[in-house]
Each structure stands twice: as structure tokens, then as C-alpha cells.
Amino acid sequence: MFFYSTNNSIESIKLIKSYSSISLYNKYAFQLSQFNFKNKVLSNSVVYKFENNSYRLISRNFFIELVNKFWKETIFLSVSDSAKDIYIEKLKSDGLSIYSNDYKNFLCYFSKALINDRIHITSDFIDSNKIKPLNNIYTKYIWKKGFNFSLPTKNSYFCSLFTKKHIFNSTHQLSKYLSINKFPIFTVINNLNQIILSESSNEILVTKNLVDHLYNIYSKYFLSNMTNQIKYQALFFISSNDAKEYQKYIKYKNSFIANNHLVNLFITRLDVYYYLMKMRMKTVDFRLIPDLEELGNLVSQYQHYKNIKFHKNQYFEKQCFQGQPIYFIEPVLARNKNNGKIELIQYIYNNDTNSINSKYTAIFMNYKTSLLAWQKFKQQMFNYHLPNKPNLLVYNLEQFIKQYEKNPDLSLKNLLFVPSVESYFYLKNQINLSNKCNCIQKFVNKSSYLKIFSQRIVWSLTSRQPINW
């Protein structure tokens, strides 16, 4: 349901016929909240209540109509009820209606303005004392048109150049720790080693005029980031299998990609994704896709296990889980076989190849991987009576990183992200394949050189040479 206005009161009703003043007597008592035009666009008149409790539709003047059309317009949205339906029928009985084309044109321009971020919601117009007795709430939207651009915001790119807020030491420190971990993630690239982006349907279907293009440029540098300004999306995957499925989907949707080398799987690191996500690229959205198989197993099976406990800040329900699951092995009380004492045993990952900071707190991306690590740890700690399965604390990767980003005092220095077994074997196979390809490439290069050299010798022996050659 739509209401048009030029200020805080409802001021718009569009008529087919030119009614200068029509009385609507108080046969059906209604107040402001009881208007519902239910997909009727009424925009050229004002509802006004006289002292004798009658209502009249008064046409707007030319100046207000001009402002609404080219500068700014206010829209109220609300839900429907029976009282508003009665008022609709009253308007129809009095001959007030609109052409369907007018309504379609309005929806077209309205949708286009929403996509271009020209419509903003405001909530300061609501009087809480009036809402309770009316038992209804209206949402107010400001539709700015033409060159009526919003003022620059403090967190925009242009303002950040002066305040230097676009450089965060904590972000740099976090990226440094993530780069040390070298946790692998996967994405899809083309033959030019460029990340393949999915384009928003709004960019394809919506045609823009000169003012729209100018506003997009202005909002890019002077306004804060808005969700509806995103035009492209880049996907990164925790699981190599999910990345392969995405690669196959791209080839399936684009039949012209017959050559396998045009779309390839690319292995990068988590810190690279984090760096791209923190860049001020308002038109590109970088998304980290969790391990879908692991997510499904957690929701359907793992969450019911007795050794599983969720973090207090983790959002989850019976059929959903937020983010990429990560597993922490919690400390456990175990009896020492030698002296019979009960001790607190904490799982620590030992990296024998690195003498400095060789002890890490492991963060597992896969439940089964954590079980394998625990079985190996149990064999090493044979002097203790350890349980067959570890007690696991479940959290999500995204919130875990944000936690360290907001608190610079925390450190990721002694934390180690452990990928799944499938990702490990995929990386191992890719490394072996890469080494073979390098050997083959070297052989091809040398054979090509020998071939060219032999051809030159044959050419010099068989062809006629100059006298002074």
C-alpha cells in the first residue's frame, strides 16, 4: 500500500478525472492510519478534514507537483486491513480510480530508484503515542530525484582520505597472522588469471540515464557503502569440491567455454580473501562459501552428539548454522597411569619442523579431521586415560576473525587453521601435478631449442650460400 506526500502529512491522491473538490462524508469513520489504496496510486490531491467532519480531495498546486516530480517525494507504506478496504470501495463508488498503466509506470520508476539507492527509509516521523491507539505503523521513505544527491557521509571513501580511517593497524596485524597460517581457500579464474565475477541482474536489466550514472559515481566516492550498490560478486570456497562444482556450473551455463583451460581452479590463502574484503570496492562483494557438506553434516548429525558444544555467541537452530564451522578441542580431565593423579590435559599441535613457536592451538574446519588429530594425540599421550572422542567447541570462522579484529590485544600468533583431509590431498595432488608439468615444460622448451638448432644446421648445409658467407 502506497501513500504519497511532500511533507510529514499525506498529500497525494491521483485522479483520472479532474475533480477539484469532492466531499466524502463521515459515513465510514476513518483516521489517518485507515487509508489503504491497495496498489492504487493517488498523487495529485490532498485529503483534508473540515470542521463538519467531512473529507474533501483538494488538488495540489503546480509548484508542489513540480517538486514531487523532479526533486523529492515522500512515500508511506503500511499493511492492509478491513477498514481500508471499505474506504477503497468508497472511492470506487464515487468514481475515483486510475489507469493501470499509471500504476505500472510508477512501479517501474519506483523499482529503478530502489536499485539505484535513491530511496531512503526514515523512522523519526512516527509518534509513539499515536501508534498505540491506532495499532498500526507506517514506514516513511524519502525518494530523492534528479540532482537531489545526499550529503557526503563520514565513512565515505573521500572523507577517509583526510581522516586516514582507511588504514587500520589492527587489520594489517590480523592479515599478517593469517598469512603466516597459509590456510588454503579456492576460487575460479579465467585463462588470464582473473577471478570470475558474477554480475547482478540489476546491471543487465535496468537501463540508466545520465543522472543515474552521475549519482553512481558520486555515491562511490562520497557516500558510505550500501548493499544495493553491489554489482558483482566473487566467490571463495573453503572446500575444493564446492569450488569444482562452481567451475562445472560456469561451464554448463556458458556453452562457449569448450576449452578446459578457460576456467580453472585457483588456490589462494585466507589472508588474500581478507585483504580483498577490506578493500573499498563498493561494487564488488567478496563472499566466503563454507564447506557445504560439512555444514550439512553438522546440522543433521553432529549437533546431536554429546561431545559437541556450541559457542555462546554462535547462532544456530535445528536446521541452520551461521558461517563456516570451526572446531576447538577443549581441555579434558584425565588420570595419569603412572601416579594415578587427575590432570587437565590440553590439546596442543606440535610442529617439529619449526623450532620457534612449535606449539599451536589447532582450529579444525572438519569434524572428522579433529577426530583423526585426537587419535594421534591419544597415541602420543599413552600415559593418560583419554576418552575416545574429544570434547569439541563449535564456532564460526567469520565471527572468530571479527573477534580478533575488534580486539587488537588478542593474537592469532599461536593459532593454526587446519584444513579438511580432502583439501589436503587435493593440494598435494596439485603440487605433484605442477612439478610434473614443470618438468614436461622444461623438456618441451629444450626439445624446441634442439629442433630449431638442427633445422638451422640442415638449412645451412642444403641451401645455397653467398660467396662471402
Chain position carrying cell 555462546: 312
| CB contact at 8 A, 361 and 423 | no
Q: Is the CATH number 3.40.1350.100 carried by domain 157-289? A: yes
Contacts 24+ apart (CB under 8 A), 430-438: 430/267
pLDDT in tens, the chain (469 residues): 444 443 433 333 333 333 333 333 333 333 333 333 333 334 444 454 445 555 555 556 777 777 777 788 877 777 777 776 777 677 666 655 555 566 677 777 777 777 777 777 665 544 444 444 445 566 777 888 877 777 776 666 666 655 554 445 556 677 778 888 889 999 999 888 889 988 776 665 566 777 777 877 777 767 765 555 677 889 999 999 999 999 999 888 887 776 667 888 999 999 889 888 877 676 788 999 999 999 999 999 999 999 999 999 998 888 889 999 999 999 999 999 888 899 999 998 876 655 455 678 899 999 999 999 999 999 988 899 999 999 999 999 999 988 887 776 666 677 889 998 888 888 888 877 665 555 545 544 555 555 565 556 555 555 555 554 4
Instruction: For residue 192, give the H/E element and its range.
Output: none
Task: List every span in the chain annotated with CATH 3.40.1350.100.
Answer: 157-289
**Burial class for 260, CB neighbours closer than 10 Å (0-12, 13-18, 19+):** exposed
Exposed/middle/buried for 286, CB within 10 Å: 0-12, 13-18, 19+? Answer: buried
Per-residue pLDDT, 440:
46
Nearest to 412 by CA among 165, 167, 172, 237: 172
Q: How many H-runs (helices) and E-runs (strands) does the chain carry?
A: 14, 22
Strands 308-310, 392-396: pairing is parallel
User: What is each CA distance from 340 to 332, 335, 377, in whole angstroms?
Assistant: 16, 6, 20
